[in-house]
């Protein structure tokens, strides 16, 4: 295989040793958990490692890669990451439409445990956040890291270990949900053994960044790398602390958290809100700060503002999670602290959104004509809207109406669909022709179709949830003259059905756009390579035949 032939002899030995360890761990889990669901995951790990080992052995004796490889950036992991991103996006959004349809038409359920809402819903959230979003961050961070440091990745093995190891974690998570394996923690449902594996993968990911930055030929560390590094480092901190748990035994999937009661709730929402902050915000801001200026052909409007925004977001977001626990047993001062930081957080958030939009000054004609750049512009707008709404909803009086209602669902999807997905698709559309050295995307018209499907789907979804959420909140707090509730919970459910139908339709529109994106990018990859392609400006500094070409936005 081409991937194996790119590895040096020492890297092939390291890969063989890694597969051997994984096979041993998988078989041990299967044996110890033969009467438990962990045994099934043991076989998943073992079979995956055996498949990798077989692929390695088939090309183990291939000639060592040529030294000329060092004159090019190492982009193959990014290429595979792009495809995995699009596949996970379709899977996660398809399941999302499924569970949305179940809320609108509960009678459509299948009489099987794996098809219940409680098992399908985390597949949607994890598939979109971690499968789609995580792969996009890994793929783009490898690309951005190399271009902004003018240095090749430090080796060929560790990027593949991170990419494939991360996707093994995603598979363990999704298959575990279908079987009923869960910690019942929002955005942190995989059990202890999957959590440990992710820590190993994440440490290697962090080391790639550090090793590349230490070898950089460019003295300045571009701001996109600041955001990517914050994403990697803080997510590791959040993941480890929130998932501290004691398993029943090494042969059982079930574990018990080290935290209990209000401490567990506080730790969970410190994790949950900062997963939004550093996974779904900081990482994708790094993406925006590189690909939007590159596509627009304009430098960042204010580089200083991007740095100030970085430190504001990094400091303030860490304190905001407790606003999810208003009117609970959490101490009142902790709730107020979270509310205050959430409101102040609007300043650095809007600084980034405004910086992105002002970067387009002098390039608005490109926004009009280029749907790819329009994706990025719309993402910045939704980022500004979602952060304003988040700060507003953190205020205790507003929270009393909005929390636990569909308004929160609408807010989350304004950020997930409008911000995260839009900047991801815009970046991948820009990146694909660059990586595969194609003159353009397969079809600009399909990008237009995707843009309008994504925008209309997001608007339908968010407006439906805003309306249903406000109605829910009002119905739950309406009293009659005798002092009792005017509406039962079932009454509120009946009132929600039209909005749930609208939500399912909006999700279907967005899913249609995701399918179009997958098709368009696959067809772009299959286009013939141009006879001549000048890549002299896209190789590491010091190995170029001519002076380096400055990148827009750097």
Instruction: Convert the pLDDT of each residue in 465-476 to its tens digit.
Output: 999 999 999 999
Domain extents in the chain: 1-61, 75-526
The answer to whether residue 537 scores a pLDDT higher than 80 is no
The proportion of the chain whose per-residue pLDDT surpasses 90, expressed as a percent, equals 89
Give the mean pLDDT of 298-309. 95
- Residue 159's pLDDT is 97
In a 3-state reduction of DSSP, which class is residue 331? coil
- Alpha-carbon span 362 to 18, nearest angstrom: 51
Q: Does pTM top 0.85 for this prediction?
A: yes
Alpha-carbon torsion angle 292, 297, 299, 305, nearest 10 = -20
Residues 6 or more apart whose Cβ sits within 8 Å of residue 433: 439, 440, 441, 524
Ordered DSSP codes for 402-430: HTTSHHHHHHHHIIIIIIIIHHHHHHHHH
- Residue 155's pLDDT is 93
pLDDT in tens, 143-163: 999 999 999 999 999 999 999
Cβ neighbours around 302 below 10 Å, total: 15
List binding-site positions for Cu cation.
273, 323-324
**CB-based contact 389:414 (threshold 8 Å):** yes
Average confidence score pLDDT of the chain: 93
Distances (CA, A) of 188 to 243, 246, 263, 333: 8, 15, 16, 26
The answer to whether residue 554 scores a pLDDT higher than 70 is no
pLDDT-derived band at 239 (thresholds 50, 70, 90) equals: very high
- Residue 67's pLDDT is 84
- Residue 536's pLDDT is 47
Cβ neighbours around 212 below 10 Å, total: 19
Torsional sign, CA 83, 88, 91, 92: negative
- Alpha-carbon span 479 to 459, nearest angstrom: 32
**CB-based contact 168:48 (threshold 8 Å):** yes
- Residue 541's pLDDT is 58
- Residue 530's pLDDT is 78
The answer to whether residue 548 scores a pLDDT higher than 90 is no
List binding-site positions.
124, 273, 323-324, 411, 413
Residues 6 or more apart whose Cβ sits within 8 Å of residue 337: 319, 322
CA angle 135, 136, 140 (to 5 degrees): 115
Question: CA 322 from chain center: how many Å?
Answer: 23
- Residue 531's pLDDT is 66
The answer to whether residue 535 scores a pLDDT higher than 90 is no
- Alpha-carbon span 1 to 267, nearest angstrom: 45
Q: The CATH number of 75-526 is which of 1.20.1250.20, 3.20.20.70, 1.20.210.10, 2.40.160.20?
A: 1.20.210.10
Q: Which of 323, 267, 552, 304 is nearest to 430 (CA)?
A: 552
* Parallel/antiparallel/unpaired status of strands 255-257 and 245-247: antiparallel
Torsional sign, CA 172, 210, 53, 72: positive
- Can you give the length of the chain in residues? 554
**CB-based contact 494:500 (threshold 8 Å):** no
Give the mean pLDDT of 434-447. 95
Instruction: Return the higher-pLDDT residue of 483 and 514.
Output: 514
- Alpha-carbon span 225 to 84, nearest angstrom: 22
- Residue 549's pLDDT is 36
The proportion of the chain whose per-residue pLDDT surpasses 70, expressed as a percent, equals 95
List binding-site positions for heme b.
124, 411, 413
pLDDT in tens, 476-498: 999 998 989 999 999 999 999 99
Mapping DSSP onto H, E and C, the string for 66-114 reads: CHHHHHCCCCHHHHHHHHHHHHHHHHHHHHHHHHHHHHHCHHHCCCCHH
């Amino acid at each position: 295989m081409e991937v194996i032939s790119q590895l040096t002899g020492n890297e092939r030995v390291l890969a063989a040793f890694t597969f051997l360890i994984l096979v041993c761990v998988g078989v041990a889990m299967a044996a110890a958990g033969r009467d438990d669901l962990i045994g099934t995951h043991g076989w998943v790990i073992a079979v995956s490692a055996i498949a990798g080992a077989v692929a390695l052995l088939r090309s183990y004796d291939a000639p060592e890669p040529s030294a000329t490889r060092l004159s090019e950036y190492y982009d193959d992991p990014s290429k595979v990451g792009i495809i995995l991103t699009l596949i996970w996006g379709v899977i996660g959004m398809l399941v999302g439409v499924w569970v949305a349809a179940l809320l609108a038409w509960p009678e459509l359920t299948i009489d099987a445990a794996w098809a219940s809402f409680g098992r399908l819903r985390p597949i949607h959230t994890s598939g979109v956040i971690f499968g789609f979003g995580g792969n996009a961050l890994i793929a783009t961070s490898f690309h951005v890291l190399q271009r902004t440091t003018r240095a090749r990745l430090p080796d060929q093995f560790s990027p593949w270990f991170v990419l494939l190891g991360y996707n093994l974690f995603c598979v363990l998570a999704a298959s575990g949900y279908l079987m009923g394996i869960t910690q019942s923690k929002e955005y942190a449902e995989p059990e202890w053994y999957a959590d440990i594996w992710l820590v190993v993968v994440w440490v290697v990911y962090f080391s790639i960044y550090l090793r590349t930055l230490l070898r950089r030929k460019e003295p300045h560390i571009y701001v996109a790398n600041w955001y990517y590094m914050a994403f990697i480092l803080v997510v590791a901190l959040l993941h480890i602390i929130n998932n501290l748990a004691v398993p029943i035994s090494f042969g059982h999937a079930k574990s018990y958290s080290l935290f209990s009661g209000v401490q567990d709730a506080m730790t969970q929402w410190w994790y949950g809100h900062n997963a939004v902050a550093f996974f779904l915000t900081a990482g994708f801001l790094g993406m925006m700060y590189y690909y939007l200026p590159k596509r627009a052909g304009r430098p960042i409007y204010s580089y200083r503002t991007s740095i100030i925004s970085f430190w504001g977001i990094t400091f303030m977001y860490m304190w905001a999670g407790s606003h999810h626990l208003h009117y609970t047993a959490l101490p009142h001062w902790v709730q107020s602290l979270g509310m205050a930081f959430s409101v102040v957080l609007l300043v650095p958030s809007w600084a980034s959104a405004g910086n992105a939009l002002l970067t387009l000054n002098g390039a608005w004609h490109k926004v009009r004509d280029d749907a790819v750049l329009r994706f990025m512009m719309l993402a910045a707008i939704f980022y500004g809207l979602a952060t304003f709404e988040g700060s507003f909803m953190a205020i205790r009086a507003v929270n009393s109406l909005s929390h636990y209602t569909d308004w929160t669902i609408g807010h989350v999807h304004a950020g997930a669909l409008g911000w995260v997905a839009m900047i991801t698709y815009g970046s991948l559309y820009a990146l694909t022709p660059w990586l595969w050295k194609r003159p353009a995307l397969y079809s600009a018209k399909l990008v237009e179709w995707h843009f309008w499907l994504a925008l209309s789907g997001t608007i339908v979804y968010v407006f439906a949830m805003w309306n249903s959420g406000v109605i829910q909140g009002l119905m739950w707090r309406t009293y009659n003259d005798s002092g009792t509730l005017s509406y039962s919970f079932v009454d509120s459910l009946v009132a929600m059905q039209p909005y749930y139908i609208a939500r399912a339709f909006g999700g279907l529109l967005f899913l249609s756009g995701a399918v179009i994106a997958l098709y368009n990018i696959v067809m772009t990859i299959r286009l013939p390579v141009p006879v001549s392609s000048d890549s002299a400006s896209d190789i590491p500094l010091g190995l170029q035949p001519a002076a380096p070409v400055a990148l827009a936005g750097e």
